[in-house]
Chain A
C-alpha cells in the first residue's frame, strides 16, 4: 500500500508499505548490544513494532531500523513491516553522527598515540578534508587520523579507536553534527566522522560489509512512525505468508494516517519536517 507526498521537488515521495521476508533485507550498520536488549524488551512488552523499518526499494538495504530487524530475527519471525522508498529521492538525506568524548584528556591522547595522525589548527582544515577524514577536535586543534583508503576502512578504524577509548573508560555520546560543534565550542573533545554517500551504503551492504553502529543518520522529509504493527499478526503470517500483503492492506485500512509537523520530541527527538503517524 502506498502513500504519496508532493513536496517542492518534481518527483513525489512514495512510501510503499509492505511486509517483507527478513532474510531479504541487507544491513549496512552493526547494532549496539545494549540498545538491542532494551528494544527487544520494549517490543516484547508492547507486543507491537512501533515504527516500520525503512528500506531502499531497489536494493532492500535497511536505511532505518537495523535494531528492529535484529529483534524480529531473534524472535524467529519471518517478516518485517517495512516502508520501501526511493533512496535517491532528495527528500531522504544521509547525515552523520559525530561523537562527544567524555573522559580524561590524557587517556584520549594516549589512545590517539596508537594511531597515525597529523595535528593541525582546526580553522585551517577545509570542508572537503572534514568530509573525507576522521578528525578529532579540541578547541582550535585537530588531529586528522590517517587510516584507510575508502570510507568503509576509515569507519573500521574508527570502530577500533572507539574500542580503545572505551577500555580507558572514556564515554562516547553519539550526537548530530550541530550538537557536536556546539559542544566543541564549550570545550569538549569531539570526533568528526567522514561523510558517507548513499551509494557507499548500498555498495558495502551488498558486499555484506557493515559499518560500525551510528555511522549513518538518515533524515526523511516525512518519517512514518507509530504504525504499531502487532507481533501477533507477524506470527500469524508464518502460517499464511502468501496473504501478507492482504493482511497489511487491511491493517492499514483500519488505521487513520495523520501527517503532523515534525521537529518535536515524542519518545525521542524527530528532526524530520513531517511525521506520518497512524491512529
Chain B
C-alpha cells in the first residue's frame, strides 16, 4: 500500500524550494525504503511525498519530520492531505529490457522495416545471427507463430507476471508505441490462441505452458548477449558510428530538454575505460537512442538502457 502526503504551503521561492528538496533528499536517505519519491513545485507551493507503507509508526515519523522541515523553513502549511494511493508504476527497467528485445528481434525475425534496413541495425543483426543461441531463440519465436507485436505483448505479460490489464496495456503501448486499442487487440489475439487467461474483470496472465516457453526464449536471448563480445571481436564499427555520430537526440531530464549530439555519447563510451564493455554494443545503443524511441528519450530510461546492456553483456 502506498500513501501520499500533499502539502500546500505559501508560494515558494526557488531558493526555498531548493532548501526543501535538499531536506527531503536527506529525509529520503534516512528512509530509503519508505520514501519512494517526492516533488516540490516552487511557484505553486506544492509538495508531494510518496510513502510506501511499512508501519504506521514509520509513516507518522515521516509526516512529523516533513512537518518539522517546513516549520524550520518558516513555511505556513495551508493544507496537509494524507491519502492512500494506487499506483501504476512506470517500470523503466522492464521497459528498457523490452526496448532492447524489441530492437533485437525487430527485422531479424519479422519483415524488416525501412528503419531497420539502415547500416547500424544491419550490423547488429548480422552479428547476432552468427550466434547459435540467437538462432535458436529466433527458431523458437518463429515456431510460436505470433506477429512481432503479439510476441512482445506476450513477453511483457511474462515479465510482469499476473497483472492488471491497464498496467500491461500501458507498458506495451510504451514499448510498441501503439495506443491501448492496439494492445487490447493483441491481448485478444493471444487469448483466442489460448495463450493467456483473463481472471475476473481485469487480471491477465500467460498460461503456464506458454510462460515456460517465454522463460526459455528470454534466457537464450540473454545468453546471446553474453556471447556478444566474442562475436563482435575485431569488428570495425567506424562506418556505422560515422552514420550516427552526426545525428542529435533530445534528452529529457525532469523539466528540461537538452539537445545532445550522438558523437558525445560515442566519445563518452569509447574514451571511458570504465565503459569498455559497452563499446561492443555501442551501435545497438545508438540505434535504441535514435530509432527505437524517436528523437527524444528520458534520462532515466537512457540510464536504464545503458546499465541493463552493461549487465546483459557481462
Contacts and interface: CB of A to CB of B under 8 A. Distances in A.
A46 B293 contact: no
Interface of B: 2, 4, 6, 8, 11, 36-39, 41-44, 46, 48-50, 79, 81, 83-90, 92, 95, 165-166, 169-170, 173-174, 179-180, 201-202, 250, 252, 254-257, 293-301
Given A4-B180, A42-B44, A232 B88 contact: no
Interface in A89-145: none
Interface size class of A (residues with CB under 8 A): 35 or more
18 contacts: A2-B180, A4-B170, A6-B201, A6-B202, A16-B179, A48-B43, A228-B46, A247-B296, A250-B293, A250-B297, A252-B90, A253-B92, A253-B298, A254-B90, A255-B90, A257-B87, A258-B87, A279-B39
A75 interface: no
Contacts of B50: 256, 258, 279
Nearest to A256: B37
Contacts of A265: 79
B165 A4 contact: yes
Contact of B90 (A246, A253, A259): A253
Contacts of A247: 250, 252, 257, 296
Interface of A: 1-6, 12, 14, 16, 42, 44-48, 50, 226, 228, 230, 232-233, 236, 240, 243, 246-247, 249-261, 264-267, 277, 279
Contacts, number: 147
B170 A236 contact: no
A250 B301 contact: yes
Closest 7 CB pairs of A and B: A46-B43, A230-B255, A45-B43, A246-B296, A250-B298, A4-B166, A259-B86
A266 B174 CA distance: 31
Contacts of A6: 165-166, 201-202
Contact of A257 (B46, B90, B298): B90
A67 B212 CA distance: 54
B250 A240 contact: yes
B202 to A, nearest CB: 5
Given A4-B165, A247-B250, A279-B49, 15 more contacts: A4-B180, A12-B166, A48-B44, A240-B250, A243-B294, A247-B296, A250-B301, A254-B254, A254-B298, A258-B85, A258-B87, A260-B4, A266-B6, A266-B8, A279-B39
Given A48-B41, A258-B85, A266 B166 contact: no
Nearest to B293: A246
A260 B299 CA distance: 28
A16 B178 CA distance: 12
Contact of A266 (B2, B79, B95, B180): B79
A261 B166 CA distance: 18
Contacts of B46: 50, 226, 228, 267
Nearest to B95: A253
A252 to B, nearest CB: 7
B42 A46 contact: yes
B180 A45 contact: no
Contacts of B173: 1-2
A279 B28 CA distance: 15
Contacts of B301: 250, 253
Contact of B296 (A1, A44, A243): A243
Given A2-B180, A16-B179, A46-B44, A261 B170 contact: no
B34 to A, nearest CB: 14
Nearest to A16: B179
A4 B255 contact: no
Nearest to B250: A243
Contacts of B49: 279
A44 B42 CA distance: 11
Contacts of A261: 83-84
Given A46-B43, A250-B252, A258 B86 contact: yes
A258 B180 contact: no
